[in-house]
Structure 1
Amino acid sequence: MKPLETSSPTSDRVPAAAIHAFIETSFRKVGLPDADAAKVARLMTEADLSGADAHGVFRLPQYVQRIQTGGINPKPAIRVDRRAPATALVDGDNGMGHLVMARAAETAIELARETGVAWVGAHHSNHAGPAALYASMPVEHGMIGLYSAVASANHMAIWGGVEALLGTNPLAVGIPAGEEPPVILDIATTMVSYGTIKNYALQGKSIPEGWIIKRADGEPLTDPKRSSEGLLLPIGGYKGSGLALILGLLAGTLNGAAFGRDVVDFNADTVTETNTGHFIVAVDVSRFAPLDTFKAEVDRHMRDMRDSERLPGFDAIRIPGEQREARIRSRSRDGVPLSAELRKKLDDLAAQLGIDPIRT
């Protein structure tokens, strides 16, 4: 079982409120309206609290740069087009992905209250942080949430290929429970997210073998600063490649959003609109069973799983979402670990924007 925290020995603990304030001030400085800056800051801080360290404040300098260079619209007119009782398509007007997907999730929850199930797609959006943020939103309303997106860059080939035509295209599912933590599964369809690779590069860490192979010869690549020479490997071999393909078609092509060769690498191109696509599904549990009964049954099954006999070498069985819940409590109390390297980047950003740095 992995330890609850895997931060660097040189990490500082920073209160979540300080991170939230810094993110909000940064976005206001580059033109986001106050309410939008506060909303994005809240969602990014939630990412850090939950342990999605490559998707919270870590992404702030990149987001700010894209806003400053015209790659993201700081004042979007997000539009919801309800196309049937249980479906909708959200046009994000090239706004921050967090704003677009929060609106999509709110719409899915609202529709599912009326129809029992709702599917909401989004286009003309941007990178929106960790998938679990959105899959967990319906859970708070007694619903099951399912979310996916076309990743904001292609780092994987179709199985057997050498051309990067697929992204890490994540899948997240949230299921409400009773006394147990909600079951929250959040996985990339690659062995690791590309944000993690960027974080390793920032901290000077080597990549474990099995994450990336060299495009030229298929041999392992372990230097994260040379990741542009390689391809991320899919989970489960050809199965992960196939899953990334299907999710890309559902989140991208179905919504009129970018997929395959049309995907813009937002790591390399700060100017071009990405037209990122997402989808979220909300399912009202009460249409199938009384909510309390369902939650109690989820609790029972999760306890059976956690208490089942373990293989040698495992000191515990992890249930998806369990450590996420514990990490939120821990970091809310003790602060979020930020590496010295990330603190330096954020201090540089503060100097560039003319604002106060994050306070420990």
Structure 2
Amino acid sequence: MSALEAALPLSSPVSSEGIRAFIERALCKVGLPHQDAAKVAELMTEADLTGADAHGIFRLPQYVQRIQTGGINAKPAIKVERTAPATALVDGNNGMGHLVMSRAAEAAIEIARETGVAWVGAQHSNHAGPAALYATMPVEHGMIGLYSAVASANHMAIWGGVEAMLGTNPLAVGIPAGDEPPVILDIATTMVSYGTIKNYALQGKSIPEGWMINKADGKPLTDPKRSNEGLLLPIGGYKGSGLALILGLLAGTLNGAAFGRDVVDFNADATTETNTGHFIVALDVSRFARLETFKAEVDRHLRDLRNSRKLPGFDEIRIPGEQRVGRYESRLRGGIPLSSALRRKLDDLAEELGITPLEA
């Protein structure tokens, strides 16, 4: 169960096609060309289908606002510059991050077919949804995918500091398997993503201790509506802080994109270009082993791990990514759960834009 499903009350589930069509209508209404709106809607709906509830339709009102106020370019001219045999840099022209990063992933896959490995960076982009969206794209082509980005706001301090100068800077890795679901690790470098904090605030729920601390005294902060007074805690103490730093330098500084004090908080500023940076790596498995042999070996190791002895108190051993498949199939059949509060926001958005509202 996702964080959103655990947050009651919920409205009636909405079909994935209903969500996709609503997102597309909204984005077309604010100026995205139909093909671009359809692509973004597809990726945002996939986020909801796989359980990344803080990165799907939940983000639509914010995206719409930024497009309307000029914070996002509705009609970007995205450019891919091949900088060496195995590298490229994508200039997103301040377009929707989903468009920029899907193009970057396509470039990485194309290059990796030629060279065996590709590293593609991106600049002048925007928030692009969950990291797993892009790490899984090479997997579908028999490749290993690795993705990271500079988060679209700073909510963490460097270890021992009190100024929010690091983001939740995510890391996602996708590894193909055979009969088993592919291994998909998608983690924030903080204890939880800031989107989850926003979701809890929308639900009126308290957040658990251990997620945030108060900047003033370092004590736990559990009221998500006071999150501006707090800092997200890193995973693993100083290790998570260090990982966020490294990923920020690779996704941001290396690409001529924002990092540190240069990051624009897209939650508080709807008009300024964020110059969000990302990178994606694609690695062709066949350059190391026969793809089918590798997949069979991955299957074997995953089964060994899943069937290993369990620690008392654990009913099962879960492999990263395996629940995405079941959740996707379940939500495709039974619909995507939306909180009543989110449903009201989407109804308000439909009225504001003059489009057909979301259908249950």
Question: TM-score, length-normalised on structure 1?
Answer: 0.99
Alignment of 1:295-334 (within 5 A): 295-334=295-334
Amino acid at match of 1:42: E
Q: Distance in 2 between matches of 1:64 and 1:168?
A: 23
Report the equivalent of 1:82: 82
Report the equivalent of 2:257: 257
Alignment of 1:63-74 (within 5 A): 63-74=63-74
Report the equivalent of 1:20: 20
Mapped contact 2:306–2:319 kept (Cα < 8 A): yes
Which segments of 5 or more consecutive residues in structure 1 lack a partner in the other structure? none
Q: Distance in 1 between matches of 2:340 and 2:222?
A: 22
Mapped contact 1:4–1:323 kept (Cα < 8 A): no
Determine helix, strand or coil for the equivalent of 1:156. coil
Q: Does 1:219 align with 2:223?
A: no
Alignment of 1:1-360 (within 5 A): 6=6, 8-360=8-360
Mapped contact 2:159–2:241 kept (Cα < 8 A): yes
Give the drift of 1:6. 3.5
Equivalences, count = 360
Tell me: CA distance 1:165–1:3, structure 2 relative to 1, closer, same or farther (3 Å). closer
Mapped contact 1:200–1:207 kept (Cα < 8 A): yes
Deviates more, 1:110-119 or 1:9-18: 9-18
Determine helix, strand or coil for the equivalent of 2:130. coil
Q: Distance in 1 between matches of 2:175 and 2:323?
A: 15
Tell me: CA distance 1:5–1:293, structure 2 relative to 1, closer, same or farther (3 Å). farther
Determine helix, strand or coil for the equivalent of 2:165. strand
Determine helix, strand or coil for the equivalent of 1:121. strand
Amino acid at match of 2:257: A
Q: Distance in 2 between matches of 1:341 and 1:136?
A: 31
Give the drift of 1:325. 1.1
Q: Distance in 1 between matches of 2:208 and 2:52?
A: 19
Amino acid at match of 1:310: K
Give the drift of 1:8. 2.9
Tell me: CA distance 1:137–1:307, structure 2 relative to 1, closer, same or farther (3 Å). same
Determine helix, strand or coil for the equivalent of 1:71. coil
Deviates more, 1:320-329 or 1:165-174: 320-329
Question: TM-score, length-normalised on structure 2?
Answer: 0.99
Q: Distance in 2 between matches of 1:76 and 1:213?
A: 39
Q: Distance in 2 between matches of 1:2 and 1:295?
A: 29
Tell me: CA distance 1:5–1:66, structure 2 relative to 1, closer, same or farther (3 Å). closer
Determine helix, strand or coil for the equivalent of 2:312. coil
Determine helix, strand or coil for the equivalent of 1:164. coil
Determine helix, strand or coil for the equivalent of 2:17. helix
Tell me: CA distance 1:6–1:178, structure 2 relative to 1, closer, same or farther (3 Å). farther
Q: Distance in 1 between matches of 2:63 and 2:87?
A: 30
Amino acid at match of 2:272: T
- Percent identity over the alignment is 82
Q: Distance in 1 between matches of 2:170 and 2:231?
A: 16
Mapped contact 1:4–1:327 kept (Cα < 8 A): no
Amino acid at match of 1:237: G
**Over aligned residue pairs, what C-alpha RMSD do you find?**
1.2
Q: Distance in 2 between matches of 1:4 and 1:321?
A: 18
Give the drift of 1:5. 5.5
Q: Distance in 2 between matches of 1:12 and 1:161?
A: 44
Mapped contact 1:190–1:240 kept (Cα < 8 A): yes
Tell me: CA distance 1:296–1:197, structure 2 relative to 1, closer, same or farther (3 Å). same
Q: Distance in 2 between matches of 1:287 and 1:121?
A: 22
